[in-house]
Chain A
Amino acid sequence: MSENYKVPTMAEMAGKGETPEVLFWVGCAGSFDERYKAVTQAFVKILNKVGVSFAVLGPEEACTGDPARRAGNEFLFQMQAVANIQVMNGYEIKKVVTACPHCFNTIKNEYPALGGNYEVIHHSQFLQQLINEGKVALKGGGEFKGKKITFHDSCYLGRANNVYEAPREVIKALDVELVEMKRCKTKGLCCGAGGAQMFKEAEPGKKEINIERTEEALATGANVIAVGCPFCLTMMTDGIKNKERETDVKVYDLAEMIAKDMGI
């Protein structure tokens, strides 16, 4: 009889006197966003299948503070950050993986100044490592076989942290045709959600940024728009709905694509 998937928390692990190899930082979108929860679940399933020793903070996790900081509220950012660092340092966490480039950037680059020093990697890098090490057995014949896929670079992964190749390597491992948008990598166009824009209406203008980006993605003729960020996922999905292309164009996170290929 096979076992169920497990999602251990740090508290449970500590109770048993165990330390996981890596903390999976879920993030607010990963915890609460109806659509994006599927990404969290897919990633956790992959971790289970591969047998990675991981744990989550569960209810002990709080927002990294990224949107507050970018909106100018440094106090609020630091309140969140210092509290998170106390929890993480309490558990003696060494390594963190997260699917959210905003959390990734904040914990990796901004927590050290506040006393939080961890090795932080984005799930695209983590997945690439697992694929390279042969730990993820890709079937390659699934839903994505031979399909045209375009990858939308997230600003906080790409320009902010120079991660351009890991997500592309993950996609290429799926036996698909990776097509690039006109503006990609260092020139990638923002989805419109960064810098706390996710949490307010856009300023007056001629067009929504996500529509501009969606048009560019559609121009590639791709059937799938792959993303590596919860906000990009929302913005691109909204853009596809706006263009009434939900039936023939899908927006997926990298973890979902890998999980689908693994048949989980």
Chain B
Amino acid sequence: MSFLPQLAFVLILGVAGYILSKRIKFLRRNIFLGKAETRNDHTEDRWKTMALVAFGQQKMFKRIIPALLHLLIYVGFVVINLEVLEFILDGIIGTHRLFAPFLGGVYTASMNMFEFLAVAVLFSCVVFLTRRYVTKVERFQKPEMKGWPALDATLILVVEIILMMAVLTMNATDQILAQRGADHYLALGPLFFSGLIRPLFEGMSIEALHFIERFAWWFHIIGILAFAVYVTYSKHLHIFLAFPNTWYSNLKPKGEMVNMPEVTNEVNMMLGIPTETPANPPAEIGRFGAKDVNDLSWINVMNAYSCTECGRCTSECPANLTGKKLSPRKIMMDVRDRAEEVGKSIDAGGPGLEDGKSLLGDYITKEELNACTSCNACVEACPINIDPLSIILQMRRYVAMEESGTPAQWNAMFQNMETSFSPWKFSPSDRFNWAEKVKEEEM
């Protein structure tokens, strides 16, 4: 009978691992719906960017209060997960506090640190909930946050609070049991934070305490495994994807738009410039610009899956600030949602990309695209270097070159540029007239 909990544990671990690996494959495939792009240059800078921006949270610190709270949760997450290693080994082997006898005083000190972090995480999550529901920070109230995105954020915060309470409850009851000499329980040194809630449990029977302790243990470990699976369905993927996402950052000047070599060849031919015929012409000519997720680069799609919907981009977007429909955060959410839709359809044997829908039109409207000033405020604001502008500009290319669907005033500007080489309708021969006045003046 005594091996039953171990068996159950291994089974739960196996199921969680299986679901996780399936989800990871699903996400990976969805990300690679995007076009191939090689971005492996300047590897040293890439590692540095990842270390500073993802690991070091450099860009979070532009806003100090959320940065500090987020740092507590981040450190808590990383450090408390060290304890999960012991949990898993205990669960499989059937031991209790496997590391304690080996580590002695260090173990107690670590437990105290874990408890401090648990309290810090709890505190941060409560403040974050307050920011969402009491002080109502504006960027969390935008239209794209209604429904699932708001629920997703709330669920994560509430689950984290409950998990941290489970850690503290477990330690408190565990130590009372040890004090009373119950089997298997080890007395550690004093634990400060769980010590504070010990009075709640002191009057209970050994059986009740044992039940609560075991319940908290199982709840915590199953909670963590469930959370790991949940993350793959949630905006919370940023905890993993922030790392590759920053590694694959755009390291070029933000103002530079990617060249379209397929256009260059045609332009050179039109202007009678000898062109180097590419040795391996592309097997299939794609669309100009992006209409759907498969027209974007895989890095764009990874950006979308890395987005945690914090809305710093949208809160700094001049178009959004002045009431236009564009929200860079929504652009990222739309790309992710479309990739999910296509992925699910493919897995269900459905039409996938050929479902008669597309990113442009069904998710993102021209009105949103047309409102962008390409100012790069969203790119600058993103704590993990997501680039919404790249997606907007690729979609504008599709609208202009495949649909001829740009606004009339832009078409007029195009015409001026074609005929008089200026966006305004002036005669090219007048271009140098400004100099007349200066030339008449004495130095």
Q: Report the Cα distance A204→B323, complex, angstroms.
A: 8
Instruction: Enumerate chain A residues within 8 angstroms of B376, measured Cβ to Cβ.
Output: 155, 159-160
* CB contact between A209 and one of B62, B322, B398 (< 8 Å): that residue: B322
Q: Judge whether A16 is part of the interface by a CB distance below 8 angstroms.
A: no
Query: Which residue of the partner chain, among B270, B322, B377, B417, contacts A206 with CB atoms under 8 Å?
Result: B322
Please tell me if the beta carbons of A212 and B321 are within 8 angstroms of each other in the complex. yes
Judge if B91 is at the interface, Cβ distance under 8 Å: no
Once bound together, how far apart are the Cα atoms of A31 and B436, in whole Å?
A: 11
Establish whether residues A193 and B373, one from each chain, have CB atoms under 8 Å apart when the complex forms. yes
A49 at the interface (CB under 8 A from B): yes
Within the complex, the shortest CB–CB distance from A245 to chain B, in Å, comes to 20
Q: Is there an interface contact between A32 and B271, defined as CB atoms closer than 8 Å? A: no
Q: Which of B388-443 contact A (CB under 8 A)?
A: 393, 396-401, 406-407, 409-410, 412-414, 417-418, 421-424, 426, 428-435, 437-443
A4 touches B255 (CB 8 A): no
> Contact check: which of A30, A105, A213, A264 meets B255 at CB < 8 Å?
A105
Per-residue CB proximity of B312-328 to A under 8 Å, as 1/0?
Answer: 00001011011111100
Contact across chains for A109 and B252 when beta carbons are under 8 A apart: yes
Tell whether A194 is near chain B: CB-to-CB under 8 Å. Answer: yes
Q: Which residue of chain B has the shortest Cβ distance to A106 in the bound complex?
A: B255
Q: How many A-B residue pairs have CB under 8 A?
A: 243
Within 8 A of B (CB), among A9-64: 9, 26, 28, 30-32, 37, 40-41, 44-45, 48-49, 56, 58-59, 61-63
Q: Is the CB of A201 within 8 A of B409?
A: yes
The contact string, 1 if C-beta is below 8 Å from chain A, for chain B 294-337, is 00000000000000000000001011011111100000000000
B431 touches A31 (CB 8 A): yes
Write the chain A residue with the least CB distance to B412: A199
Q: How far is the CA of A5 from the CA of B431 in the complex (A)?
A: 18
> Which residues in B have their C-beta under 8 angstroms from that of A113?
259, 264
B239 at interface by CB-CB < 8 Å: no
Q: Point out the residues of chain B lying under 8 angstroms from A49, CB to CB.
A: 443
C-alpha spacing A48/B441, complex, angstroms: 12
Q: Are A71 and B396 in contact (CB under 8 A)?
A: yes
Binds A, one of B66-74, B152-160, B192-200, B364-372: B364-372
Interface centre among B376, B399, B412 (most CB of A within 10 A): B376
> Which residues does chain B contribute within 8 Å of A172, judged by CB atoms?
none
- A146 nearest CB across to chain B (Å): 29
- Residue B75 is within 8 A (CB to CB) of chain A in the complex: no
The verdict on B184 contacting chain A, using a C-beta distance below 8 Å, is no
Asked if B434 and A203 sit within 8 Å, CB to CB, the answer is: no
Query: In the complex, which residues of chain A have a beta carbon less than 8 angstroms from the beta carbon of B62?
Result: 187
In the complex, A192 has a CB within 8 A of chain B: yes
Question: A173 interface residue, CB < 8 Å from B?
Answer: no
State whether the Cβ of A80 lies closer than 8 Å to any Cβ in chain B: yes
Chain B count of residues within 8 A CB distance of the other chain: 75
**Is A76 in the interface zone, CB < 8 Å from B?**
yes
Closest chain B CB from A5 CB (angstroms): 5
Judge whether B380 and A200 touch: CB under 8 Å. no
Q: Which of A147-194 contact B (CB under 8 A)?
A: 155-156, 159-162, 186-187, 189-190, 192-194
Q: Is the CB of B375 within 8 A of A75?
A: no
A78 to chain B, nearest CB (A): 4
In the complex the two chains form, is B401's CB within 8 Å of A74's CB? yes
Structural contact, B400 and A110, CB atoms closer than 8 A: no
Q: Are A200's CB and B434's CB within 8 A?
A: no
A80 with B417: CB separation less than 8 A? yes
Q: Does A110 lie within 8 Å of B437, measured CB to CB?
A: no
Given A4-B440, A44-B435, A159 and B380 touching (CB < 8 A)? yes
User: Are A209 and B443 in contact, with the CB atoms below 8 A?
Assistant: no
A247: Cβ under 8 A from any B Cβ: no
Flag whether A205 is at the interface (Cβ < 8 A): yes
Q: Is there contact, CB below 8 Å, between B413 and A209?
A: no
Contact assessment for B373 and A79 in the assembled complex, using a CB-CB cutoff below 8 Å:
no
Determine if A160 and B254 form an interchain contact, defined as CB atoms under 8 angstroms apart.
yes
- With known contacts A28-B424, A159-B380, A205-B319, A110–B267 Cβ distance under 8 A: no
B263 within 8 A of A: yes
Which residues A103-117 have CB closer than 8 A to chain B?
105, 108-110, 113-114
Of A159, A186, A203, A212, which one neighbours B367 at CB under 8 angstroms?
A: A203
Knowing A28-B422, A155-B374, A203-B371, say if A4 contacts B443 (CB, 8 Å).
yes
- A250 vs B237: C-alpha distance in the bound complex, in angstroms? 49
What's the nearest-Cβ distance from chain A to residue B176, in Å?
Answer: 53
Which chain B residue has the least Cβ–Cβ distance from A156? B255
Which residue of the partner chain, among B264, B373, B374, B417, contacts A76 with CB atoms under 8 Å?
Answer: B417
B342: interface (CB < 8 Å): no
Q: B273 interface residue, CB < 8 Å from A?
A: yes
Assuming the contacts A4-B442, A109-B255, A203-B370, asked whether A74 and B288 have C-beta atoms less than 8 A apart, the reply is yes
Give 23 CB contacts A-B under 8 Å. Answer: A3-B442, A5-B439, A5-B442, A9-B432, A44-B438, A62-B428, A63-B421, A70-B257, A71-B396, A71-B413, A72-B399, A72-B401, A73-B401, A73-B406, A105-B253, A109-B255, A155-B375, A160-B376, A195-B374, A199-B409, A205-B322, A205-B324, A209-B319
Those 9 A-B pairs whose CB atoms lie nearest each other, nearest first? A160-B255, A72-B400, A206-B323, A195-B374, A72-B396, A62-B421, A205-B323, A190-B375, A200-B409
